[in-house]
């Protein structure tokens, strides 16, 4: 398991020790959600829901690639990808990540994320909320396996599950 997966090391984050000596790098989930869902609302009004979801997916994928290229690929060659993702998502308080199933024949993963940052506890409206997470997982898996992965959230707190369920498969 890696002890070095630390998103604070990403260049664009800046120097938090210098910039926030009193407040540090913690903030409230409610503030994060205020930013996320107000941004989404404006984008949905301008672009429609499908395009907005596509853009959050693309942003998540970009973030996944930044994380992989900026941090994960520096790990020793035989690092355990799944364990490293689990460790990172837990430390960053994004969610509690586990592999529910892996199908060797199709190289398809089913992941579960409990207490997800984006959706856990949200009202149930029947629509999955976590397109950024879909992209994030796709970005990391695509870079790691050097095969294009696509991820779909098939269950979400907002669809009545008590965790997010993602299916990640190579693009045929």
Q: Is 119 in the site for Zn ion (CB under 5 A)?
A: yes
Q: Is 164 in the site for Zn ion (CB under 5 A)?
A: yes
φ, ψ (nearest 5 deg) of residue 111: -110, 150
Q: Which is nearer to Zn ion, 107 or 114 (CB)?
A: 114
Q: Is 136 in the site for Zn ion (CB under 5 A)?
A: no
Minimum distance of Zn ion from residue 106's CB (angstroms): 23
Distances in Å between the alpha carbon of 41 and those of 35, 49, 164? 10, 9, 21
| Size of interface with Zn ion, in residues (CB under 5 A) | 6
Among 117, 130, 141, 165, binds Zn ion (CB under 5 A): 130
Instruction: List binders of Zn ion among 80-99 (CB under 5 A).
Output: none
Q: Which is nearer to Zn ion, 118 or 143 (CB)?
A: 118
Q: Give the pair of three-digit tokens for residue 18.
A: 């210098």
Q: Which is nearer to Zn ion, 55 or 122 (CB)?
A: 122
Residues of the shown chain interacting with Zn ion in the complex, contacts defined by CB under 5 A: 116, 119, 129-130, 156, 164
């Amino acid at each position: 398991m890696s002890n070095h997966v630390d998103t604070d090391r990403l260049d664009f984050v800046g120097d938090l020790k210098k910039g926030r000596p009193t407040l540090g790098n913690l903030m409230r989930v409610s503030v994060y959600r205020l930013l996320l869902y107000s941004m989404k609302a404006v984008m949905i009004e301008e672009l429609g829901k499908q395009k907005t979801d596509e853009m959050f997916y693309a942003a998540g994928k970009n973030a996944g690639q930044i994380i992989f290229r900026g941090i994960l690929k520096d790990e020793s060659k035989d690092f355990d990808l799944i364990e490293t993702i689990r460790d990172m998502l837990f430390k960053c308080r994004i969610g509690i990540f586990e592999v529910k199933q892996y199908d060797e024949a199709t190289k398809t993963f089913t992941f579960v994320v409990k207490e997800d940052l984006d959706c856990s506890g949200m009202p149930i409206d029947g629509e999955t909320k976590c397109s950024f997470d879909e992209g994030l997982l796709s970005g990391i898996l695509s870079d790691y396996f050097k095969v294009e992965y696509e991820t779909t959230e098939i269950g979400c707190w907002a669809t009545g599950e008590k965790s997010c369920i993602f299916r990640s498969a190579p693009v045929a």
